[in-house]
Chain A
Amino acid sequence: MAFQPIKFYQTGTFTVGNRLLPPEARAVQANMRRTNSLNSGHRACQGCGEALGARYAIDAAMSATNNRLIAANATGCLEVFSTPYPETSWQIPWIHSLFGNAAAVATGIAAALRVKGASGVRVIAQGGDGGTTDIGFGCLSGMFERNDDVLYICYDNEAYMNTGVQRSSATPPAARTATTPAVGEQPGNPFGQGKDVPAIAMAHGIAYVATATVAELRDLEYKVRRAMEFRGARYLHVFVPCPLGWGHASDATIRIARLAKESGLFPVFEAERGEVVGVSKIRKQVPVEEYLKPQRRFAHLFAPTPRPEVVARIQAIAERNIRKYGLLERTT
């Protein structure tokens, strides 16, 4: 279909429809030739943030590599819901080995491609937060340190959802999970030191580290495309709400992801060689309550006994992120 320039008169929104954009600026998903790398018919839950994030990320990577892509997948929801063989949703060469070794398997694939002179074929490793920040962390760090030519994508839904919502090192403070129940003096996940894996990735000095959410899919596509412009180790951390595990409506996935960003709880940025080079500013700051309240995993903070002191501690985390990354536009 020929491109028809359309004038953009609409105001008061940040959303720009694809038809209003020049073709080169349109989303990969809006293109008729998108690869549907993670095809429909898989068994993800309704409203799954991970399925959405993976579809956009992998299609964008396919687009950026001229469809020459291999993926290594950690054990987890994404693996289980996509390949109940003989059904597979993957339209790309794809391997699942173990829970904790996706980064190393990807290293091996990249090495094989290099030795065979097939450097035009690129490699992605992907996993959930458990497979990335916990059990696969050693292999991930090794891959970063060697600067292997792999883009690792973590789809972070802040707990072990595939096994029934148990706590991971990415679970936020106060969140209820099956192993941090909402009982006792301090219900939910304890306040620990946290494990900021994007920052740890940056500390390795790798070429590119970025965070994204499924609320800004165009930004996610951009970051995948940008990541594929570099060689060596790269890391993309995607915030993907889980209606089942978080206890929110399945049509609220995008809204929850947006509130995580707009509250400051999930900073969206990109970094090159260990230094932040771009930040997605908060457009309209919201208190963390707005993010927490629609999620049953935080319900014990509001009823039957409200715990404003806990909410205040979470607000303090958001404020720290806002300061650290400069997430608010300065008003002069």
Chain B
Amino acid sequence: MLKQIEGSRAVAEAVALSRPEVVCAYPISPQTHIVEALGEAVKSGALAPCEFINVESEFAAMSVAIGASAAGARAYTATASQGLLFMTEALFNASGLGLPIVMTVANRALGAPINIWNDHSDAMSQRDCGWIQLFAENNQEALDLHLQAFRLAEELSLPVMVCMDGFILTHAYERVDVPAQEQVDAYLPRFAPRQVLDPAEPVSIGAMVGPEAFMEVRYLAHAKQVQALELIPGWADEFRRAFGREAGGLMHTYRAEDAETIVVALGSVIGTIKDTVDELRAQGVGIGVVAITCFRPWPLAAVRAALVNARRVIVIEKTLAVGIGGIVSNNVRAALPGSGAAVYTVIAGLGGRAITKASLAKAFADAIAGRLEATTFLDLDRQVVERVLAREREVRRSGPIAEAVLKEIGPVAARPG
């Protein structure tokens, strides 16, 4: 059924349609609307049987999900930013134990400085925690990826993180097609756990493993993710057959077949990039897009195949690996040995900084003209940075960094575009 609803509400409906049995909630912007909607659904009886648990921290949220999943319940939670960091220890534990928990991450910047707006720093900081990471391009895909996530998680007995851009998607009202319960029931079988805490068949879960077996256990976690690379495209086909629309998969391309220049990105910015590419195509520029849906496991072969004929690859990154630059671009480079293509890292949109078509078009033109530096920061105010650095050279007690930058910028608040 077509509905004009908020992204968070669309995800909440998808999760509810997936019949979760335990939902843990701890508030953090911008994911709160999702668990609020689920809480209401449970309390009103619309979603039953389901336990909705208001916990005291994100660490507890993931821990409750671990207990619930190990006891055989379909478990779900959502978080963002600092919340994801606070549950880090439990994230590694959930994946290490092989518990198929599904979690939404409403992508948001990490402090300090504290910032509630969108970028991918949170999810990227946990890229190696053993969870499958899927990134949604728009709200319809966010909804669809959640349906797939439960399927994927339970087939592989691995946790899945569905990442959607905070505010840009979570708070945007868009038209989404919400499937019927029967459709979802037909697509998503009941949870049949591989391991379960059951007095009738007692098992010990979470035993200590020493050097004699640790490598093998860890390898199996890796092998499962590699296995996911093989299975995900087939599941996307199955989803298309069941619901009549494209969603998920490892990645998709847009006008990339004959492109000399290919832009790689994840999440909602792909929409802006596609529009920019359309305009450049109209001007005769041979440019296309590779949109990554599945970031973990990293679809190395698929990315390599998509980029094999490109002369240059521009990676738009909503995250910064301090001290090196890009994260996605390093993964892209791993897929391009010996291709000779130049790989550009463009750090963009940190902390909710708007990524405009104009800025993207300029960056793409600079790359095509060979003027773009290997690592650049889109729309960085260099003058402010230079003034702050100069002050630090002159004054020993130069004060808190963020406050110094804000002082330089002056009372302008947010500057869209």
**Closest residue on chain A to residue B210 by CB atoms:** A84
Q: Which residues of B contact A96 (CB under 8 A)?
A: 204-207
List of B residues within 8 angstroms of A92 by Cβ: 199, 202
A111 B64 Cβ-Cβ under 8 A: yes
Chain B 295-330 per-residue mask, 1 if CB under 8 angstroms from chain A, else 0: 000000000000000000000000000000000000
B73 touches A94 (CB 8 A): no
Is A11 interfacial (CB-CB < 8 Å)? no
Partner of A112, one of B21, B54, B55, B93: B21
Q: Chain B CB within 10 Å — which of A68, A90, A98, A101 has the most?
A: A101
Interface size class of B (residues with CB under 8 A): 35 or more
Residues of B within 8 A of A121 (CB): 199
Q: Are B67 and A83 in contact (CB under 8 A)?
A: no
| Interface stretch (choices B45-53, B233-241, B395-403) | B45-53
Q: Which residues of the other chain, B, contact A88 by a CB distance below 8 angstroms? A: 204, 207
> Contact at B57–A142, with CB atoms within 8 Å?
yes
Q: Please tell me if the beta carbons of B69 and A97 are within 8 angstroms of each other in the complex.
A: no
Report if A199 contacts B (CB, 8 A).
no
Interface 9-mer from A24-32, A102-110, A229-237: A102-110
| Nearest CB in chain B: distance from A232 CB, A | 14
Contact B93 A98, beta carbon cutoff 8 Å: yes
Interchain CB contact (< 8 A) of A107 among B21, B67, B72, B199: B67
Chain A residue nearest to B198 (CB atoms) is A93
Contacts A101-B60, A107-B67, A112-B67; is A93 near B89 (CB within 8 Å)? no
For B51, what are the chain A residues with a Cβ–Cβ distance below 8 Å? 111-112, 114-115
Name A's interface SS: mixed
Whether A97 lies near B210 (C-beta < 8 A) is no
Are the C-beta atoms of B22 and A98 separated by less than 8 Å?
A: no
CB neighbours of A69 from chain B (8 A): 199
**Cβ–Cβ contact B70 & A109, under 8 A:** yes
A95 at the interface (CB under 8 A from B): yes
Q: Is the CB of A139 within 8 A of B56?
A: yes
- A78 → chain B, closest Cβ, in Å? 12
Query: Is B65's CB within 8 Å of the partner chain A?
Result: yes
Total residues of chain A contacting the partner, CB 8 A: 44
State whether the Cβ of B124 lies closer than 8 Å to any Cβ in chain A.
Answer: no
Q: Number of A-B pairs whose CB atoms are under 8 Å?
A: 155
Cβ of B209 and Cβ of A104 under 8 Å apart? no
Q: If A70-B197, A109-B197 touch, does A98 touch B63 (CB 8 Å cutoff)?
A: yes
B186 contacts chain A at the CB level, 8 A cutoff: no
**Residues of B contacting A116 in the complex (Cβ-Cβ under 8 angstroms):** 21, 49, 72-73
A138 within 8 A of B: yes
A contact residues around B84 at 8 Å (CB): none
User: How far is A116 from B51 in the complex, measured between Cα atoms in Å?
Assistant: 10
A80 to B209, CA, bound (A): 10
Q: What chain B residues lie within 8 Å of A213 (beta carbons)?
A: none
Q: How many Å lie between the Cα of A268 and that of B236 in the bound state?
A: 61
**Quick check: is B2 within 8 A (CB to CB) of the other chain?**
no
Please name all residues of chain A whose beta carbon is closer than 8 Å to the beta carbon of B206 when the two chains form the complex.
73, 83, 95-97
Alpha-carbon distance A106/B70, docked complex (angstroms): 10
Chain A's closest residue to B57 (CB) is: A138
Specify which chain A residues have a CB less than 8 angstroms from the CB of B70 in the assembled complex: 95, 105, 108-109
Known: A95-B67, A98-B89. A83 touches B199 (CB 8 A): no
Contact across chains for B66 and A97 when beta carbons are under 8 A apart: yes
Instruction: Give which listed residue, B53, B67, B208, B213, contacts A97 with CB less than 8 A.
Output: B67
- A279: interface (CB < 8 Å): no
Contact A95 B205 (CB under 8 A): yes
Q: Mark A80-92, 1 if CB is under 8 A from B, else 0.
A: 1001110010111
1/0 contact string of B63-104 vs chain A (CB within 8 Å): 111111111110100000000000001100100010000000
Q: What are 23 A-B contacts defined by CB distance under 8 Å? A: A70-B199, A84-B210, A93-B198, A95-B197, A95-B204, A95-B205, A96-B205, A96-B206, A97-B63, A98-B90, A100-B59, A101-B59, A101-B66, A105-B67, A108-B65, A108-B69, A109-B67, A109-B70, A112-B22, A112-B69, A114-B51, A115-B73, A141-B56
16 further interface pairs, Cβ-Cβ under 8 Å (given A104-B63, A108-B66): A70-B71, A72-B67, A83-B204, A93-B201, A95-B206, A100-B59, A101-B60, A104-B67, A105-B67, A107-B60, A112-B71, A114-B51, A116-B73, A138-B59, A139-B59, A141-B56
B contact residues vs A (CB 8 Å cutoff): 21-22, 24, 49-51, 53-57, 59-60, 63-73, 75, 89-90, 93, 97, 197-199, 201-210, 213
Per CB-CB distance, the 5 closest pairs between chain A and chain B, nearest first, are: A108-B67, A104-B63, A142-B56, A112-B71, A96-B206
